[in-house]
Amino acid sequence: KRMSDRGWTVTALDFNPHTAEQVARRYGLRTLSGTLPHPEVADASFDMVVMGASLEHVHCPHEVVGAAGRALRPGGRFVAVVPNFAAVAFRWFGVDWWPLDPPRHLLHFTPATMRRLMAMHGLEVEELRAIPHGSWMRRSLANRRGRLWQPGGRRGLTALSKMRLAASLMARWTDWVGQGDGLRVIARRSETARLKAAA
């Protein structure tokens, strides 16, 4: 909706038909039900494909990213945001790291695996950045507190998990060291991919 308000011609896509219908009705956007590849998404028909918090939920990321790359016009951008499996918070919290989120999250990505995935589908990475999430840090702290057996330690972490400032400072530190909980990639459809498609 924000992109539409800024003048973009937007097509929304969601696997849930009810959600797609609600988005179309509420925001007045062209909305498709399903996933990529999709019969109503033509090759070279979009300037940008955005996937926020979705790649970690799919069974076949190569199929989805490949279809996204084909949907891009020459010079088009692919933007995705996923949890960062290389995040320092994952090392701190282990199974209590909130973005693990089983069984809804089927896959996890690191900067290296995200770069490989983009390259395999003719997408040249322009930006790959770890991003902090204070709310994810709070939820990870809340998950961890239930696993501590020492009463004093548990009380301390319970208090800490409720402190927005502490979680925010921890998230900022992960940003400072470049190991935040999320990953954002911006990649461009490469000239080589266009030439291969034309051949």
Supply the pLDDT for residue 172.
Answer: 76
Confidence of residue 73 (pLDDT cuts 50, 70, 90): very high
With H, G, I as helix, E, B as strand and everything else as coil, classify residue 161: helix
Calculate mean pLDDT across residues 28-42: 96
Confidence of residue 80 (pLDDT cuts 50, 70, 90): very high
Residue 55 to residue 82: CA distance in whole angstroms: 7
Residues 51-63, mean pLDDT to the nearest whole number: 94
Using 50, 70 and 90 to split pLDDT, how confident is the model at 138?
confident
Alpha carbons 71 and 76: distance in angstroms, whole number: 9
Min mean pLDDT across 1-15, 74-88, 176-190 is at: 176-190
Instruction: Output the CA–CA distances (angstroms, integers) from residue 155 to 113, 116, 143, 148, in the order listed.
Output: 38, 43, 13, 9
Q: How far apart are CA 162 and CA 152, in angstroms?
A: 16
Give the pLDDT of residue 191: 67
Give the length of the chain.
199
What is the model's pLDDT at position 40? 96
Residue 197, pLDDT > 80, answer: no
Residue 192 binned pLDDT confidence (cut-offs 50, 70, 90)? low
Dihedral angle over CA of 3, 37, 41, 65, nearest 10: 50
pLDDT category at 199 given cuts 50, 70, 90 is very low
Whether 146 shows a pLDDT value over 80: the answer reads: no
The position carrying tokens 């989805």 is: 64
- In the prediction, which pLDDT does 106 show? 94
Closest CA to 128 of 187, 197, 173: 187
Computed over every residue of the chain, the mean pLDDT equals: 87
